[in-house]
Every structure is written in C-alpha cells, then in structure tokens.
Structure 1
Amino acid sequence: MSSNPSDRGDNPQDPLSEMLARLFGGGGAGGMDPAELAKAAGLPSDPNAMAMIFQQVQAMFSASSDGPVNWQLAKDNARRVAATGSDPSTGPTAAREVDEALHLAGLWLDPVTDFAATSTLGRAWSRAEWVEATMDSWRRLTEPVAVSISEALSNAITTQMPEEMKSMMGGASSMLANMGGAMFGMQLGQAVGALSKEVVSSTDIGLPLASGTMALLPANVAAFGEGLDVPEAEIRLYLAVREAAHARLFAHAPWLTAHLFGAIESYARGIHIDISKIEEAARDIDPANPESIQSALSGGVFQPQRTQAQEAALERLETALALVEGWVDEVTAAATANLPSAGALREMIRRRRASGGPAEHTFASLVGLELRPRRLRDAAALWAHLTEERGIEGRDAVWEHPDLLPTSEDLDDPKGFGKRRQLIEAADSDVDAALKRLLDGGFDTPEETDKPTDASSGESTDGTAGEGTVPEGGSRNDDDGGAGDGTDGTDEPGKPGSN
C-alpha cells in the first residue's frame, strides 16, 4: 500500500485503494466522500433522521426480551410513529363531543337491537393513547405468529446447518434470536403506529382491541371527513353508533373475542417456511447484479406456505369478521335511518373496510393475515333477511353460541339459512332423544322378570309359565295352600288339582 497521502489509488500495487474505488467510485479511500457513502448505503442526509436511526439501532442491540418479540421496543416505536406529523391531545371540548355522541348513539341503538346498553366507558383518544390502550391486544394478536415464524426459522437453520457449523455458532444463536425479536418488534411498532393515524375508533378493524372501552379518535374523525360535504357532527355521530354497536355485540357474546383470536392462533400454529424456495432464490442471485438480489427478495421467498388447516382457519376468521361487520352495518343503518348522510357514510365505510388502507396492508404483510371482512355486503344481507324472518330478538339470538353462527355457505344463500338450520336442529334432536334413551336404560336387554307375556296363551314369550296365569291342564294352589277342588269358584270344577 502506498504511504503517499496524495496517492489517489492509481498505483496498481495498491489493491485496497483499488477495491475502495470500485466500491465507492471516485478516488478510493483518499477521495471518499462521507455524504456519497451515506447515499450509497441508503441513509438519509438529515442529521435528525440519522440520530433517530442510530437510536433505533442502539435499542435493537441493548434491549433484552424474554420472548420472540421485543414488545417494549414495539410500543416505543409505535408511539414514535404516531407522534410524527401532528398528534394533538384531546381537550375538554373534544372529550365532551365524543361523550355526547356515544350517549346519543346508545339511545338510537336501543330500539333496533336486543342487546342492552353496557357499562362500557366512552373515551376521546389521541393516537398515542390508542397505541397505549391497544398494545396488549396487538401482542396477543401477533405473538402466536411471531413464535411460529421464529421456531420455523430456527428449525430450518438447524436442519440445514452442517454439524461443524453448529459448534462454531455457540452463543451467537441466542444473539441472532434477540436481534430477530427486535426487528419484528420494530416492524410491528411501525405498523401499529401507522394504523394509529387511520383508525377512527377502538373497534375500527373489527376486533375489540381495547376491551371494556368505547373510544373515538377526534383527529382521525376529522381527517376521515375531509372532502365530504357532511357536517362533522353527523360523521362523529355515525361513527359513534358503529362503535357502540361493536361494544354491545362483544359484551353480549363474550365468546366472540376468543373465537376471533383463536382462528388467528390456529393459523399461526401451522406456519411452515419452505427452505427449498430460499435456496432456489439464492442460486439465482448474482452478487454483481443488485437487481437480481432485489428480484429474489421481492418474490415472496420468505412468505410462509399455507397449509390446508391454515386455509380453514383463515376462512373461519374471514367469515367471523364479515358476520361482525355485517351485523354492525345492518344495525347502524337501522339506528341512523333518520340521519341525512347515513347512506353515503355507510357506503364509504363499506368500501374502506373492503379495500383496507396502507397501514392495514403493512400489517398484513407482517403477520400474513388480512383483517378485512371480504364478504361484508353478503353478511349484511344475511342479517337483514334474518331481521325480516325472525325479528330483532330472533336475529340477535344467533350470537348466543358459536355453533349457531352462519357459515360461508349461508353467506352464499341467506334465504336458505333458516331451512338449513331446521335440518341441523332436527338431527340434533334425534341424537338427544337417542342419548336420553341410552342413559335411561332403554337399550338394555329385558330382565327375566320383565319378559312380556302372551295374554291369550298365558305364556311368556320364552315358553315358560307366566306369573299369575294357569297353565292348560293344571291348577294353582288355593290361598290356604291346598290343592284347588273347584269349590271356591277359583278352580275349574271337574279337573283335579295338582300339588
């Protein structure tokens, strides 16, 4: 290597300078521009942005986590994202407006649903408050997925790694696991923070993220109404009715939350990563061609392959979400029938829920699940039909047990739901009757004393003399124990009795 500081690296005997020149362009090490280096690495030139990046990297390496995800890092990152731009705190005026809207929403819901009002509290939240209140639910929602992905990757690496490499890894495997948990936590925080800028209420995505609370986000409600020729008070009231309807449903069907989260857990338990796809993509990568690397990584090589059991779990989840949103949609439409803008707001929310926003797509790519009611309109049509057929009480009675819930087949044919349900109930009734007979001993073999007798012959069905009958050609003893002689009118005269 040349010791001349003015040497620009043109000396072919200086391989390090030549390598740096190839990597960074220009004059190699002597002419390296830090700004160009940062640009080549994809780093921002803004000092504040750089400080935030270094802070996050430091948190990744310093924070410890007992599980597959660094949840504290996830929450901190979510709050940081939620605070970018503007996240005004809710003052007394906004809190009063939300409280009044939720109270009026409860009055409007009373005549259109059989579910009574709950003692759920009404809140006005900032985005940061939404993050704080819902983070436990996000943990419950994503932890099964994170655990399954972590185990799948760990097993895949262990399987593919040669024995000599396993001994060399030592404690590095736990370090890599912690880094993986930190990276997932940062990504989760990014997704949750982005969602905090889009959601208008605590149940906006169809899940009870903040159990025991009704809440609206005034800043997001105002953003939701931008460009609409609708008074903000009407928008707030309509969204309050939807929030209150969600709260009543989840309160009166306490099994529903576990049903929804259980479908997600069933999906997570079956996660499997196809290592062969990663190996195939690695063979196609040309280190000298950055585009080949980008193409390989964007081809979904790390996306878990769905099994048949996972597809079934996803169908249950999508059907349940559609039923929840369809019921809320139908009940809200009935409650807001006199609200001038109700029709336009209903259609807008339907399209919004069906398509999902950018943050919702980010979350879907993170956990492999789309929390969207694809069949919202079909579900709303089903609930409308049940209202006409059974009335409000009969419609809401469907939520009494998960076994009563409509299926995807019922969404295909809402009018046939009642007939199919009758057939199922009739079959269940036959099973119950057979079970009762079994428990009562109706299927047992009759005992000797219970054998039926033939009334005309006086014989039991097995040919033996039945109790209380007189065999032909014979007699029975009198009450005094002697042989009957026919004098007391009991024995036939002219026939001798036998002892």
Structure 2
Amino acid sequence: MNLYRSVRAVAGASGTGVIDWDAVGDAAKAATDPGSLDLSPEERAGYAADVRDARTRLRTVGDVEFELPDAIEVQNRHHWIDANIRTFERVMRPLEDRADGIFPGVARTVNTGTMAFMLSFLGSNVLGQYDPLLLAEGDDDHGLYFVHPNIRRVADQLNVDYPRFRRWIAFHEVSHAAEFGAAPWLSGHLESRMERGVDALTEGSIDRDAFRELDTAMTAVEGYAELLMDRAFDDDYEDLRRKLDARRRGGGPLAQLARRLLGLGLKRRQYERGARFFESVAEVRGVAAASKVWEQPDNLPTEDELDDPGLWLARVDA
C-alpha cells in the first residue's frame, strides 16, 4: 500500500473525460493492500464444493432452474477493483458523455479521487459479489467473485469458523445467481430503469418513478436471496448475521461516513424489507410460490405490496 503513489495518480488524472479510469485503478490499488491469494488445495476444493452445493440446494429449495456463471473467481482485492472499474465505467458512461464542467481539469481530478476512494474502501470490505454485468455489450458472461483476503480477515475478526463463514458467503452470492438465472428478463428490467434515471439526471431532472421501480426491484432481489439462503443453508446462521451486522455498524468515523456515502444503509434496508415480504409469502404458500416473482416482470411486487404481501398473493394468484 502506497498512499503517496495513490495521491500522485489522482493528481495526474488526464484525458478528455470527467473521470480518468486508468488513474482510478492506479490510485485505488496503490491505496489498497492486495492481500494473499496463497490458497491451499483444500481451500480451493472448499470454494468449489461450496458453490456446487449451493447451486444444488438452491435449485431444490426454490424450485428454480439456473446455471452458474462461467466466470467464477477467487480474487484478491486488486482483482476485485479491476473487475469493478469496468462495471462503474459502464454505469457512469452516459453521464460522462453528457457532462459539461466549467473547470474540467479540476472536476476530473475530484471525480477521479472520489471513485478511487470508493473502490479502495469497497475492495477492502467486499466479501463476495454476483455481478450481472448490467449495461454490458456483447456476450460477456455474468461473474461470481469471492475476495479471499477479506473473507479470511473477517472470519478471524468475528472469531467464527472460516470454512463455515466462507460457505455462507457462497450461498448468499449463488442465491443472486439463481435469481438472474431464473429470470432472464431481470437484467434488462434493471438496465432500463437505470438508463431512464441517468437520462433524466443528464437533463437536470429526476425520474422518481424510475428510481422507485429500481429500488422496488432491488428490494425483491435482496429479499428473495435472504429467503433462499435461510431455507437452503446447512444450519442456522443467526450468529454469523449478528456478528457481521455488528461489525458493519462499528468502525471509525471515516468508515461510517463511507458507508453512508456509498448507500450501504439503503442496501441493508432493502434486504430487511424484502426478507419480511418473502418470509410472509413463504409462510402462507411456500417457497415455490415466492419464486413466482421471477416468472415475468409484472410479478415483481409493487411498493404497496412489499408492505402487504397479501395483495401480491391475490394479484399473482400464487
């Protein structure tokens, strides 16, 4: 980790865009210890078994058919940063194409530094990720990533069994793969709302309906994954959830500020609200009924239905 090199990379941001993505990568990685990827054969076999078992159990519990991405990677922190620079660049491109700054050089430096800080913070904390590659062009496959140094470090910090913790993370991320695999339309649905929202922002307005629909869809994504995990994982994991939540609420002022700026509190609200919705549905009609949410876009719950699952059950006849 070299903070001086990180600052120098940001200060040297150049190009014609409002963000110098090469400088973002250099700065974020310079500020982040990559961590060790020295896995034993047993660990490599463990990751593979966890993912394979999660796929089998989730297919059975959810009564959903899906395939795993071809791109399944055990990464260090720098690998994760590289993968997500491509993601952020795709999402930001529409804004960059239409941005008009008064002091473009200064704006580019500030924007580059902000993105580098975000990716460095996330790269040091993300445990696993299912990447649906939203807004990607061509035939790129979805990705499933495990940030091994972070999984190892957090298991030690929480004083929990490392193989069990690793397996829990695998089940969570494969749950997201199950959703996007069972609903081929889901990526396009999310992309269209993102594009509408970004188009409005570039025109100086806010498309509240687009962001509301995006929030509702992501609440369903997070909540359904929690339901599947809860029913498919080997044993009760309340101890893992409790310890991890306590860790997320802790940290110094800088870490807490970063979480707020990155909207991580919103993600927590989404999975808690979504989990309540799907648990209510499953208690009345079973997990297979809850899985009907992925049959077609119209089966996504509305804002009102998230707080009254009976309305959704009556509408979709689950």
Q: Same fold (TM over 0.5)?
A: yes
- Distance in 2, matches of 1:99 and 1:349, equals 23
1:64 aligns with 2:15: yes
Identify the residue that residue 265 of structure 1 maps to in structure 2: 195
- Distance in 2, matches of 1:415 and 1:187, equals 43
1:325 aligns with 2:222: yes
1:256 aligns with 2:186: yes
- Distance in 1, matches of 2:22 and 2:185, equals 29
Change (3 A) 1:381 1:352: farther
Change (3 A) 1:52 1:102: closer
- Distance in 2, matches of 1:346 and 1:381, equals 16
- Distance in 2, matches of 1:88 and 1:112, equals 35
Identify the residue that residue 123 of structure 2 maps to in structure 1: 196
Change (3 A) 1:50 1:125: closer
Per-residue deviation at 1:129?
Answer: 0.9
TM-score for the superposition, normalised by structure 2? 0.81
Per-residue deviation at 1:227?
Answer: 4.0
1:402 aligns with 2:297: yes
Q: Gapped runs of 5+ residues in structure 1?
A: 1-47, 158-175, 274-303, 426-499
- Distance in 1, matches of 2:183 and 2:10, equals 41
1:106-133, CA deviations, whole angstroms, 9 ceiling, x for partnerless residues?
2322321122341424321101111122
- Which of these residues, 192, 198, 211, is aligned with residue 314 of structure 1? 211
Note the aligned Cα RMSD (angstroms): 3.5
Q: Is the 8 A contact 1:124 1:217 kept in 2?
A: yes
Q: Secondary structure at the match of 1:132?
A: helix
- Distance in 2, matches of 1:354 and 1:117, equals 34
Change (3 A) 1:266 1:333: same
Identify the residue that residue 419 of structure 1 maps to in structure 2: 314
Q: Is the 8 A contact 1:69 1:185 kept in 2?
A: yes
Identify the residue that residue 88 of structure 1 maps to in structure 2: 36
**1:43-442 mapped onto 2 (5 Å cutoff):** 53-57=7-11, 59-60=12-13, 63-65=14-16, 67-83=17-33, 87-93=35-41, 94-121=43-70, 122-147=72-97, 150-151=99-100, 154=101, 176-203=103-130, 208=132, 211-271=141-201, 309-336=206-233, 338-340=234-236, 342-348=237-243, 362=258, 365=261, 372-421=267-316
Per-residue deviation at 1:230?
Answer: 2.6
Per-residue deviation at 1:188?
Answer: 0.8
Per-residue deviation at 1:191?
Answer: 0.8
Per-residue deviation at 1:363?
Answer: 7.8
1:68-96, CA deviations, whole angstroms, 9 ceiling, x for partnerless residues?
3222222222222233xx52234344433
Q: Is the 8 A contact 2:280 2:309 kept in 1?
A: yes
TM-score for the superposition, normalised by structure 1? 0.54
- Distance in 1, matches of 2:123 and 2:82, equals 10
Q: Secondary structure at the match of 1:372?
A: helix
Higher-helix-fraction structure: 2
Q: Which sits farther off after the overlay, 104-113 or 125-134?
A: 104-113
Per-residue deviation at 1:263?
Answer: 3.0
Change (3 A) 1:320 1:90: farther
Change (3 A) 1:49 1:243: closer
Identify the residue that residue 279 of structure 1 maps to in structure 2: none
- Distance in 1, matches of 2:168 and 2:30, equals 30
Per-residue deviation at 1:52?
Answer: 5.2
- Distance in 2, matches of 1:118 and 1:360, equals 37
- Distance in 1, matches of 2:250 and 2:177, equals 23
Aligned length: 308
Per-residue deviation at 1:327?
Answer: 0.4
Q: Is the 8 A contact 1:113 1:331 kept in 2?
A: yes
Change (3 A) 1:330 1:416: same
Structure 1 or 2, whichever has the larger Rg, is: 1
Per-residue deviation at 1:377?
Answer: 2.4
- Distance in 2, matches of 1:51 and 1:352, equals 30
Change (3 A) 1:188 1:134: same
Q: Which sits farther off after the overlay, 354-363 or 372-381?
A: 354-363
- Distance in 2, matches of 1:360 and 1:271, equals 27
Identify the residue that residue 471 of structure 1 maps to in structure 2: none
Q: Is the 8 A contact 1:114 1:396 kept in 2?
A: yes
Q: Gapped runs of 5+ residues in structure 2?
A: 135-140
1:45-79, CA deviations, whole angstroms, 9 ceiling, x for partnerless residues?
xxx7556544542x22xx324x4322222222222
- Distance in 1, matches of 2:217 and 2:185, equals 12
Q: Is the 8 A contact 1:214 1:243 kept in 2?
A: yes
- Distance in 2, matches of 1:258 and 1:133, equals 21
Percent identity between matched residues is 23
- Distance in 2, matches of 1:142 and 1:133, equals 15
Counterpart amino acid of residue 208 in structure 1: P
Per-residue deviation at 1:388?
Answer: 3.9
- Distance in 2, matches of 1:419 and 1:137, equals 38
Counterpart amino acid of residue 195 in structure 1: L
Change (3 A) 1:354 1:228: closer
